[in-house]
Amino acid sequence: MLTKIIMPQEIKIILLALITLSITSCGQLISNAKKEFADDLAATILESNDPETVKKGVPAYLILISSMVKGDPDNPELLESGAQLYAAYASSFTDSAESNQALAETAFLYSSRAMCIRHLKFCDIKGLSYFEYELLLTEIDETQVNSLFVFASSWASVIEATSSDWNAVAELPKVKASIQRVLDVDDTVSNGNAHLYMAVLETLLPPSLGGKPDLAKKHFERAIEISNNTNLMAKVLYAEKYARLLFDRDLHDKLLNEVLASDIDQKDQRLINALAKQRAKTLLTDADDYF
């Protein structure tokens, strides 16, 4: 619901009703316009093949999105658009740990607020035990699965940005449970990126400490399959997080060379794939030192 509509208990005169409806309709149009702007902005950024220009230009729009959220703080769609933009910039373009943390925390704040608006039981998740939270996740269906993924992915981003804080890291099982619920409901969400998140989470630890690289491998391959081989970042992370973990040089180089040789020009993947090629080149350059 884009706006909170409060209808009076009794309407004494028709004129008052018409005024009330007119104000509500105007608010709805403004709210929709804000969301459309945020969506168009995100689409334009994703279609860019010039990461450097995006890096320089997006900070101004982050401030603009925040001003829009300030003026419409109960709009879950706008909050989620802002969360995705902040989280994407934090993970790909920040130059300092402090900036990464600040941006990731804003993304999580926005997505948390959106999830709370959509589902009141999510308003106090930090007060829930893991088992209580796992039970809550069973209430998420197809209508809320995209929102849950935005929430879970921004939560993962803030944990990554504050990895020295053990209180934050202790919340990782809830993040995994959230992404698993997304996969259970619809594993094709976000072009297979839910599988990508789960794959990375399964490779955070080596097998000797409880990591599950075999399961991660399945998630990486499913993410690539869902994207019809167009998500080059999936291959890069497959090489970096899985092949390097197992010291599989052949798989590592094969995946990264496939990324560099790709001429995929899917417009909504241009930025991500440009970043993937940059990362692939870096990983190949220092491979001899790693292996």
More confident residue, 224 or 60: 224
Position 30 confidence tier, pLDDT thresholds 50, 70, 90:
very low
Q: How far apart are CA 243 and CA 197, in angstroms?
A: 16
- pLDDT in the model for residue 238: 96
Percent helix, strand and coil across the chain, each to the nearest 5: 75, 0, 25
Per-residue pLDDT of 164-182, as tens digits, reads 777 777 888 999 999 999 9
Per-residue pLDDT of 36-87, as tens digits, reads 776 676 677 766 777 777 778 778 888 888 888 888 888 898 898 888 888 8
Mean pLDDT value of segment 244-252: 95
Residue 140 dihedral angles phi and psi, to the nearest 5°: -80, 125
- pLDDT in the model for residue 273: 85
Query: What is the C-alpha radius of gyration for the chain, rounded to an integer number of angstroms?
Result: 21
Q: Where are the alpha helices (DSSP H) in 93-231?
A: 97-118, 130-137, 145-161, 166-169, 172-185, 193-202, 213-226
Q: How far apart are CA 258 and CA 263, in angstroms?
A: 10
Residue at token pair 């939560």: 155
Residue 228 dihedral angles phi and psi, to the nearest 5°: 55, 40
Lowest-confidence pick of 13-17, 113-117, 200-204 = 13-17
Q: Are residues 110 and 88 in contact, defined by beta-carbon separation less than 8 angstroms?
A: no
Per-residue pLDDT of 249-273, as tens digits, reads 999 999 999 999 998 776 667 778 8
Q: Are residues 168 and 101 in contact, defined by beta-carbon separation less than 8 angstroms?
A: no
Q: Where are the beta strands (DSSP E) in the chain?
A: none
